[in-house]
Chain A
């Protein structure tokens, strides 16, 4: 854990206003994006993160964080978002039971307890990831961004860029492959870290 983290944790425990401001300035947007990635709703994501920070304030005297600050935040938000989704899914399944569950939706990440999502972000690799995307060949990069950030379908991207759907698909595949290659050293670290956790 970094020294800076310890200073902030102490301030949070004391209820120091500026430390909560610091959380909003530095982590709020990232945490909202992670939650949004799971719950796919902007309002819900903001509510989850807002509730979480308020919860931190409520329990400030008993606050104990042994990992890095950002890991702790991401893990909490991930858990809260997944819990929300499970609760909501359960309600939907019961109330809309005549419809089949929409498994095809891209929002349904295959959740794995042993391999939680967002580990790269916990390692504060946000910038490294962005840089890797930046280094993709220009057409692949454009396709990847439209799909990942603008949530466009292959067909829409194909039309916009005057290329075939198959070409879009190829760009997506090669972009992901290249990112996986470029980020391999971090992914390997994570894998070793997890194996260590499991064997502990």
Chain B
């Protein structure tokens, strides 16, 4: 730990004084993003560095001359501003104008291909569909309907970090040097080589992680120092409202049913099930009764073979709820 502190201290100091190569800069940025305390420490160092402006003798500024310029500019008024520019300014303006013209032209000509070089890669699975893909490091990822995965150009070389909104199943290729990290709004996961499933749609009340093989560490954004380790067969649920994180043992085989075209509810809240159905069938579902929201259901359906009606029929067969269609909307009620 201490050695690591020294190393980070090294990075921060060199960053301020000399600048860092891209890979180390990335490391530093990740460390800063890791916790508010880290960020604070870095910001303090940066503030000290920045605020030490007063003894810089190599760059002298002449306030008397500047004041004279101000006076002459004031006399000529704002309209005459351009004329008050001296020759040096004129050349600089000309160069800037040229750069702008050239860049606009090349931007126009280069079009999309130019911006692509800098942009992060984003993969989206539309509503009602799933996407299977292999990341540059060979990791297999399944994206469930309505999910989004973003990774930077440096993926596989500088880092193995992805940002996820929604649900995904990963089979991560082993790499001891580069941990595989999944960031979501509420919970981050770090792994070295495992199979796991994570679900955190923006509208979900819970974040759910299921570990099938290997070992992962979880860190939620609410408690900076709380790192939780998971063993295979465990399921971790983070409640976004109460901020409570709990682990249970569950049948993991069912968790990735969705990648095979099944719709699977594992003691899920009705609210989350409704959202799942909305994404899967691209419909709007309303729950008309607040007490219904807390109900949990368990069950498996094959999406290809099951119409939305048959799923709803199965849910109503439990006699806990009824449903009706109102235009394009489906209403669940008691």
Contact = CB atoms under 8 A, between A and B. Distances in A.
A196 to B, nearest CB: 15
Contact of A133 (B13, B55, B117): B55
A91 B74 contact: no
- Main DSSP-derived SS at the A contact region: helix
Contacts of A57: 70, 74
B47 A173 contact: no
Interface string B37-48: 001101111111
A65 to B, nearest CB: 19
Contacts of B324: none
Given A25-B63, A93-B118, A95-B102, A33 B54 contact: yes
A97 B54 contact: no
Interface residues of B, number: 60
Chain A interface size, as a band, is 35 or more
A104 B78 contact: no
A121 interface: yes
B20 A118 contact: no
B48 A179 contact: yes
A108 B50 CA distance: 12
Nearest to A134: B55
A177 B49 CA distance: 11
A130 interface: yes
A180 B45 contact: yes
A177 B47 CA distance: 13
B107 A28 contact: no
Given A24-B63, A125-B51, A145-B55, A97 B10 contact: no
A50 B106 contact: no
Interface in B6-33: 9-10, 12-22, 25, 29, 32
B43 A129 contact: no
Interface of B: 9-10, 12-22, 25, 29, 32, 39-40, 42-59, 61, 63-64, 66-67, 69-70, 73-74, 78, 88-89, 92, 99-100, 102-104, 106-107, 110, 114, 117-118
Given A148-B56, A173-B13, 13 more contacts: A24-B64, A33-B61, A47-B89, A50-B73, A106-B15, A110-B42, A120-B51, A130-B54, A149-B52, A169-B13, A176-B16, A176-B49, A187-B47
